[in-house]
Amino acid sequence: MRVLGIDCGGEYTGYGVVEIHSTGKLSCLTCGAIKLSPREKLPIRLSRIYMHLGAIISEHQPDEVAIEDVFYALNVKSALKLGQVRGVAMLAAASAGLEVSEYSPLTIKSSVVGYGRAEKQQVQHMVTRLLELPEPPEPLDASDALAIAICHLHTIATLQRQRAVAR
């Protein structure tokens, strides 16, 4: 299974595609961040996110998409902008016929680090180890997106094990 993780943000939107092999080994196919200029008008920034995510989906053919759920914003204006970015990310996935799952930051950190209040650097460190990367993914938004994808893959694996036991 292959999952595109998306870490939505107003300035950077992180992305990462992670694949799980039949052996359970995780591998990173791509990761990075879409940098947005605050000087550009919001519709242009949203269009850039949509186009970039569409290209990643087209190139890497994920089976599903996972994004971080909104948890808080410094102010109403920031929350609205973040909501618009999340909407565009969901639209890019839905336009490609992909299912979207949402996870809270606490769930993502617990799944990857084992501690729901882990710092960004701890998440980055564990993502680097779990994916056996030669160096930590940069920027932090990229490692967060990889963590979201890993969380989704871990969640799916757990649900499959539970279903197997229930039979």
CB-based contact 29:15 (threshold 8 Å): no
- The single residue of 11, 69, 135, 141 carrying the catalytic annotation is 141
pTM: 0.95
Q: Which CATH superfamily is domain 2-166 in?
A: Ribonuclease H-like superfamily/Ribonuclease H (3.30.420.10)
Position 159 scores a pLDDT of 80
Position 163 scores a pLDDT of 80
The residue whose two tokens read 């979207």 is: 100
Task: Based on the residue annotation, tell me whether 7 is a catalytic residue of this protein.
Answer: yes
Over residues 41-95, the pLDDT tens digits come to 999 999 999 999 999 999 999 999 999 987 666 788 888 888 999 999 999 999 9
d(CA 29, CA 108): 20
Task: Based on the residue annotation, tell me whether 68 is a catalytic residue of this protein.
Answer: yes
Angle between helices 140-166 and 120-130 (to 10 degrees): 60
- The single residue of 19, 63, 64, 68 carrying the catalytic annotation is 68
Phi-psi region of 61 (alpha: psi -120 to 50; beta: other; left: phi over 0): left
Mean pLDDT of the chain: 94
Read off φ and ψ for residue 137, nearest 5 degrees: -65, 140
What share of the chain in percent tops pLDDT 90?
Answer: 81
Position 89 scores a pLDDT of 98
Position 72 scores a pLDDT of 65
Position 77 scores a pLDDT of 83
